[in-house]
Amino acid sequence: LEGEHARVTVVQIAGVVARRIVCRVGPGDKLTAGERFGLIRFGSRTDCIMPRTARVSVHPGDRVVGGITVLGALA
């Protein structure tokens, strides 16, 4: 995800058992803040890589909800 001032990388990683990932966007698609771009469940995970200057709002083990939970703020 690339904005005017920063770039955030999101990686969806399928779980060993259920491999349940759906990605609804492709390269060049435009997204708005809070917009869902895929589905992930059943032991799969999503990694979100933010710039070092970002103020992270969540911690390891926190439960997050797509489109609702704020992961962090870009400085």
Catalytic positions:
44
DSSP calls for 36-51: --EEEETT-EEEEE--
Q: Which amino acid is at 24?
A: R
Tell the residue number behind the tokens 């492709």, with chain if given.
26
Q: What is d(CA 42, CA 74) in angstroms, rounded to the nearest whole number?
A: 30
Q: Decide: helix, strand or coil at residue 25.
A: coil
